[in-house]
Amino acid sequence: MLSPGPSRGRVLVVEDDLDLLEVYSDVLLEAGFDVTTLSDGGGALHALEGGTFDVVLTDVLMPGATGVDVLRAVRERDLDVPVVLVTGSPSVETAVQALELGALRYLLKPVSAPDLVRSVEEAVRLRRLATVKREALRFLGQTDGLMGDRAGLEAVYSRALANLHMVYQPIVRTRDRTVFAWEALLRTREPAVGGPLQFLEVAERLGRVRDLGRIIRGTVSRAATHTRGTMFFLNLHPDDLLDESLYDPRSPLSHLAPEVVLEITERSRIDSGPDMRERVRRLRGMGFRIAIDDLGAGYAGLTAFASLQPDFVKLDRGLVAGIDRDLMKKKLVGSIVAVSRDMGIATVAEGVETTGERDAAGELGCELMQGFFFRRPEELRAGETFPPALDA
């Protein structure tokens, strides 16, 4: 049933007790809301497919689908629609699920008319606030895919995972522009995820980082198997270092260890993990080499370097951008390159985009370079091989 005239908001009410359904509808219509009523969870799931609502008010125990099922369905479609659960048989299990999946309220029957209206009014205001926040973020050019609760993040993560793919960007030798290695970079075609860092943030919030790391390593190992003799750089999340599957000699990547450099970003607290030195020693024993990524943009100190003993350091794009025009950057990079060389560590200038940056980094002694100047990251398609040299 739909109310005529101006509306304070669209409310979907789902309740299998027809008397209560009529009461809820009358109260909310009287308060000025546009109300759609359904008496079973299955019907609610169908209604969500074809309509948009500002608030969903649903009973917990219903035929066809539970209120928690309805809540999950809402979050799969919209991260911002508030859901109010109502029950006459409260349980710890449903209360925990309601909290975890982002229900706005968990009301106990009988619900008074003032409490019902107050809860729906609050929900509508929050819905409008969320809409304004998303508009502001879009105006500022920021991504907004991570706003929402666990159920919404689960839906986003599942879609991102289904659309996961890897792209590859060359790391070139400064002296002759031949390809030294290819860095494997995470991507997804899921529009709600703004990029690889946001993809990882979703995984972090859901506790799925290690699962995602295994999928990434498996994907890269399949590509590398078809291009034996090619060196690959592969980013590790610090939590990956605590995943025993990384050290499993039967894992696909372990068979390619001599051809793989594992990158650990300096932006993370890479010296705070337990047994870091021992874990790196185990990886080296398997044949992997180690790189510190984003050098100059993070927190790593002497302890991290002592633990990791990197074979490569990758200079952060912030140090490389405009280096041909910035005397201070030249001094900093020159010093890093000199110290790294003394320690037997090769330096990679990341984010090279111009001829000036390429020439300046080369003059300062960077052995390797990477960036859009040479090639943008590209997906490796079936049957393709990596070219050994570039024209740049």
CATH assignment of the domain containing 246: 3.20.20.450
CA 195 and chain centroid, separation? 7
Distance CA 43, CA 152 (A): 21
Domain span at residue 14 reads: 10-139
Phi, psi dihedrals of residue 37, rounded to the nearest 5°: -115, 145
Q: Which CATH number covers residue 31?
A: 3.40.50.2300
Note the Cα 368 to chain centre separation in Å. 29
Q: pLDDT digits over 174-213, tens only? A: 999 899 999 999 999 988 887 898 899 889 888 899 999 9
pTM above 0.75, yes or no: no
Instruction: Classify 155 as helix, strand or coil.
Output: helix
Query: What dihedral do alpha carbons 10, 14, 15, 18 form, nearest 10°?
Result: 60
Q: Residue 115 above 90 pLDDT?
A: yes
| 120/61 same-domain check | yes
Q: What pLDDT was estimated at residue 4? A: 47
- Residue 391 inside a domain? The answer is no
- Distance between first and last Cα of the chain: 67
Is 186 in the same domain as 305? Answer: yes
Beta bridge partners of 290: 262
Shared domain check, 277 and 193? yes
pLDDT in tens, 237-277: 888 988 999 999 999 899 999 999 999 875 555 555 557 77
Which of 139, 164, 180 corresponds to the end of one domain? 139
Provide CB contacts within 8 A for 58, sequence distance 6+.
12, 13, 14, 15, 41, 44, 67, 70, 71, 83, 84, 85, 86
Q: Where are the alpha helices (DSSP H) in the chain?
A: 18-30, 41-50, 67-77, 92-100, 113-139, 150-162, 196-206, 209-225, 276-286, 302-308, 317-320, 327-342, 355-363
**Do residue 159 and residue 133 come from a single domain?**
no
298 lies in a domain? yes
Residues 71 and 206 in one domain: no
Counts for the chain of helices (H) and strands (E), in that order: 13, 14
- Is 245 in the same domain as 212? yes
156 has a pLDDT exceeding 50:
yes
Q: 230 versus 208: which is more confidently predicted?
A: 208
Task: Assess whether 367 and 226 both reside in one domain.
Answer: yes
Same domain (yes/no): 21, 98? yes
Count of the separate structural domains present in the chain: 2
273, 337: one domain: yes
